[in-house]
Structures are given as C-alpha cells and as structure tokens.
Amino acid sequence: MADWIKFVEVNLRDGRKTSVWAVLTIDGTKNLGHVSWYPAWRKYSFYPNPQTVFEWQCLRDIAEFCQDNTAHHNKRLKGEKEN
C-alpha cells in the first residue's frame, strides 16, 4: 500500500462504533497522527499530530485510506439496515 507510512488499528476499548488507526512511519518509530470518524462529515478523517510535515504521496495514501474505510463503513451499515 503506502511506501512511507502504515496504518495500525488502535483498540481504545471505549465503546466506539467506528475504528481508529494510528498513522505511523513505515518503521513504526514516529506517530504522525490518527484516522478516525468525523461525525459532522460522516467520513473517516485524518488528524495530524503537531509539527508533522507530509509530501504529496503520503497525503494521497492517507486520503485513499480514509476514502476506502468510509466506503467500507457505509457498505457495512447499508447491509445491516437491509437485514
């Protein structure tokens, strides 16, 4: 997937209905921020940590990850409503 970053699901154990992922450097040594649900937009969004800088490919990878997981979430919800 991404060349410079990775996404690691975080288990917050706080009763959330949606997932949260830490965005880390590929070697796992730096936490760059996290991806979580933004209710006002009804989409997964990226929350960068202060003092972080991103180049275009990392931003594309993060945007694609948010878009894919939003689509997966909506598809799952639609399936639950049909049952």
Lowest mean pLDDT segment, chosen from 5-14, 44-53, 59-68: 5-14
According to the model, what pLDDT value does residue 67 have?
A: 98
Percent of the chain with pLDDT over 90: 80
13 — pLDDT class (breaks 50, 70, 90): confident
User: Alpha-carbon dihedral of residues 71, 74, 76, 79, nearest 10 degrees?
Assistant: -120
The parent domain of residue 51 ranges over 5-82
d(CA 15, CA 39): 15
Helix spans in 1-83 (H): 56-82
Residue 39 has pLDDT above 70, yes or no: yes
Number of domains in the chain: 1
37 — pLDDT class (breaks 50, 70, 90): very high
For the entire predicted model, the pTM comes to 0.89
Query: How is residue 52 annotated by DSSP?
Result: -
